[in-house]
Amino acid sequence: MRTSPSYTASYRIEVDEKTTSIASIVDAVSSTGAEIKGLDVADSDRGRIIIDLTCDMRDSEHRREVRDAIAALSGVTAESVADQTFMSHIGGKVEIHSKVPLRNRDDLSRAYTPGVARVCTAIHDMPQKAHLLTMKANTVAVVSDGTAVLGLGDIGPAAALPVMEGKAVLFKEFGGVDAWPVVLDTKDTEEIISIVKAIAPAYGGINLEDISAPRCFEIEERLRAELDIPVFHDDQHGTAIVVLSALINALKIVNKKIEDVRIVVSGVGAAGNAIIRLLLAQGARDIIGCGRDGALSGDDTEGMHPSRKALAEATNPRHVHGSLKEVLKGADVFIGVSSGNILEPSDIESMAENAIVFALANPTPEVDPIGAGKYAAVVATGRSDYPNQINNVLAFPGLFRGLLDAKVKEITTEVLRVASVAIASVISEDELSPSYIIPGAFDKRVAPAVSKAVRRAVRDLPTVDIPVQPDMDVN
């Protein structure tokens, strides 16, 4: 297991230079496999110095191993240890900043009373003006019940809040969208729908996050039907958008067409379902979805949940049956959104020539990426420490930027599809390689490209009509 910035720690160390050199501390720490990122002298007094040592570790146990290695040295004391990941979350990751000055009474009278009453009246007379005169114009609610958080599962709303805060940070950084975390202390489908509908007037869009399947399907479907603002379940559609964009470019590498390839998808929950639907919209014809019990098929749907039954009937045209390993033989593409280490590299060897492997389970992929690379032409993961990271941050900031700017009321499959194409198009034909099929998370070209494509795709969709008088008066 590699070291990771997720496990960065800083050690404040007091050293007696007469007994132990700094070099010996570096050697002791390095011998544990830790990657030293920085060493700074904080203080020095008569042969005793204080140093701050920062390094990346593999996990929490490795952090303790480093501490013990330091403590074992003569004349060295580890005074404190600070976990940088936890330090970055102290007090939360988001805050509110005012966009208007409050320097004097005049400013106050315009921002608040009495002037704000005029704006309230204008919105009361024409509710659609809220899209212009309030934060609704650029604000998304990131809503979760904490039932399907990362790979942690059902950990509850409070424990899910750091993820939602992080999502809000990404919205702002990459799309210029003001997003706000909303975690709900309920798992009841009807109650969640009711709450989101009740808070919707304050937001221009709803981003559903980390809600377990199959409840997430009904929640999204109902909210889309009952609200007049875009509703997006990122675990489904954000993942699907980026998977399709990566596949578009991967198929160029191996010179295959999506309508001709055999695709196997491991995991038929929220993400797998959405991926399959979007691949079908792009022209894929032969997709097999695999759950824990093997391949889904339309000729064997007895007892299936309606959402899974619909998926089975829309896929597997050859009615193939068997385990994941069995149906993978001869396939051109493997897409995993399930669990780690369910395949061996030898299983990839059984696939078709020039196979494509997207092993997206996090933190442990379905198959070892390095081992898979011995047999596959293109390999992608959900991790940042391997090439071709399939990361949802490539999708949702630009998607919502375009939706908010266009003032549309809904999201269609075609909108999702064009977003995928836009992400893929950021990489030119000359730039494409087996190790570069998807832009990096910090590629500043992505969000504008997605936003532009979305605005074009929604030209014929219903929009919010905002009649605004030139003088901005209420009458």
**Mean pLDDT score of the chain, rounded to an integer?**
90
DSSP 8-class letter at 207? E
* Most confident segment among 36-40, 97-101, 173-177, 463-467: 173-177
Is residue 418 packed enough to be buried (19+ CB in 10 Å), middle (13-18) or exposed (0-12)?
buried
Cis upstream peptide for 214 (omega within 30°): yes
What's the average model confidence in pLDDT over 278-284? 95
Write down the pLDDT at residue 474: 46
Would you say 72 and 28 are in contact if contact means Cβ atoms under 8 Å apart?
yes
Is residue 183 packed enough to be buried (19+ CB in 10 Å), middle (13-18) or exposed (0-12)?
buried
Q: How confident is the model at residue 288 (pLDDT cuts 50, 70, 90)?
A: very high
Whole-angstrom Cα distance, residue 210 to residue 156? 10
Would you say 122 and 129 are in contact if contact means Cβ atoms under 8 Å apart?
yes
Helix (H) or strand (E) holding 208, with range, is: strand 205-208
Whole-angstrom Cα distance, residue 342 to residue 348? 12
HSE of 295, CA atoms in CB hemisphere, 13 A: 24
Helix (H) or strand (E) holding 14, with range, is: strand 4-16
What's the average model confidence in pLDDT over 178-196? 96
pLDDT of 68 strictly over 90: no
CA distances from 418 to 198, 276, 437, 457 (A): 31, 16, 17, 7
Contacts of 20 (CB under 8 A, 6+ apart): 73, 74, 75, 76
Q: How is 230-294 classified by DSSP, letter by letter?
A: -EEEIIIIIHHHHHHHHHHHHHHHHT--TTT-EEEEE--SHHHHHHHHHHHHTT--EEEEEETTE
State pLDDT tens for residues 81-138: 888 888 888 888 888 888 888 898 888 888 888 889 999 999 999 998 998 899 999 9
Tokens 């909210």 correspond to: 223
Q: How confident is the model at residue 466 (pLDDT cuts 50, 70, 90)?
A: low
CA distances from 17 to 23, 87, 190 (A): 11, 30, 66
pLDDT of 472 strictly over 70: no
State pLDDT tens for residues 231-263: 999 989 999 999 999 999 999 999 999 999 999
Treating both helix axes as pointing N-terminal to C-terminal, what angle do 239-254 and 413-425 enclose, rounded to 10 degrees?
Answer: 50
Catalytic entry in 112, 257, 374, 444: 112
Would you say 211 and 203 are in contact if contact means Cβ atoms under 8 Å apart?
no
What φ, ψ does residue 331 adopt, rounded to 5°? -75, 150
- Entry pTM: 0.85
SS3 124: helix
Quickly count: other Cβ atoms within 10 Å of residue 307's Cβ.
18
Write down the pLDDT at residue 362: 82
> Is 167 a residue of the active site?
yes
> Is 386 a residue of the active site?
no
What φ, ψ does residue 51 adopt, rounded to 5°? -120, 150
* Most confident segment among 78-87, 252-261, 355-364, 451-460: 252-261
Catalytic entry in 129, 136, 167, 407: 167
Q: How confident is the model at residue 281 (pLDDT cuts 50, 70, 90)?
A: very high
pLDDT of 306 strictly over 90: no
Better-scored residue on pLDDT, 43 or 311: 311
Least confident of 48-57, 161-170, 417-426: 48-57
Q: How confident is the model at residue 475 (pLDDT cuts 50, 70, 90)?
A: very low
Q: Which of 45, 46, 37, 39 is nearest to 25 (CA)?
A: 39
378 forms beta bridges with 356
Domains belonging to the chain, first-starting first, are: 4-87 (3.30.70.260), 136-229 (3.40.50.10380), 241-475 (3.40.50.720)
SS3 55: strand
Whole-angstrom Cα distance, residue 398 to residue 459? 17
* Most confident segment among 43-52, 114-123, 173-182, 451-460: 173-182
Contacts of 239 (CB under 8 A, 6+ apart): 271, 274, 275, 337, 360, 390, 392
Q: How confident is the model at residue 16 (pLDDT cuts 50, 70, 90)?
A: confident
Better-scored residue on pLDDT, 439 or 270: 439
Better-scored residue on pLDDT, 166 or 464: 166
Least confident of 74-88, 283-297, 385-399: 74-88
